[in-house]
Chain A
Amino acid sequence: MNNNLKSWLKKETSKCMFCGFCEALCPTVRFGSHRGYGPRGRINIVLYLSEEGKYTHEALNSLYSCLLCAACTLKCPANIDIPEVIRVARSLYARNNLKEKEEVVIEKEVS
């Protein structure tokens, strides 16, 4: 089941062209301490996680410091639903670390 979410995340995040256009409107990257606090960083960290990367300290900061405010989506040429990717990535983490059960709602989340 986890794999469904993972492959969806991988598919979405692979669209990223690393142009950084999304960063211009992101409030957290402006005041955060590095690129991981911006949408480009978040998307690429999720990509890294979906390829069996580790939930490092900064990976978690990147995921959980997002406001889900969606300003970034106004500028993304690849049309990635950035906040949704981040939310789903959080849910993947929750499944593995916060005892959230897996059997529910996978399709609902990524439809």
Chain B
Amino acid sequence: MPDIMNSLYNIRLLDSLARKETPVHRMHPLVKVLVTLIFLIFVVSFDRYEVIRLMPFFLYPVIIFMLSDIPAIPFLKRIMLAMPFVIGIGILNPLFDKHILLINGVAISRGWVSFFSILIKSVLTIAAGILLIATTGMDKLAAALRMLKIPKILVLQLLLTYRYISILMEEVARTIRAYLLRAPMQKGIHRSAWGSLAGQLLIRTYDRGQRVYHAMCLRGFSGEYNTGDNARLNIKDYVYLLCWALFFVVAKIYNIPLIIESILAGVIR
């Protein structure tokens, strides 16, 4: 029960984080969406045995994180949430792929390399996604997607699903609270009540969703979600986009860790 209240709070935490005023928050949402997209494409484009070359890409989430004043613990927690799935997907690689790779003279099983590659890519992409939402907010994100000419129906779907999750969780919290108050000796919910509870929830959230939708319609909602600020892109937005794009391209073409290593080696020698 406290868990679900907590998750409700957590979902809304992203909304409240999105209202902060930092240089990152002030960037145009469109630019942030584009940078995130480019970032994702580049990260995913690396070969499955490349681990070292992914490292420079950590610069992006780290910098955004530092600039955007987002609390570390909730941020890390959200990344960790996805880890069980990622590990589940990647964990068989070391078992099946037992070729040996030589990296800088160290012999490593190729399976483990690809496992780490998956892990790192996931952390990078999830972090980028969370940062995007936490610095932009769902409403502006949707507006940006509309500017990218993503069909109205898809954007709406995304938005309403996001809204609907909190409605669903509120109902769940209320129902479970009502149940537990009348079954004080119990831990959790007895399985005999699962069916009717789930049915109740479905109907209640459906009703609730319907009422919210009506309320939207009554205020002139016709499928277009207007968030109000259709500010134009200005110079700093273009600069932001260009700088990151440039950095990603450079990190893709050149092996930055190798270059740094050779420079360091040169200095030492």
Do they bind each other?
Answer: no
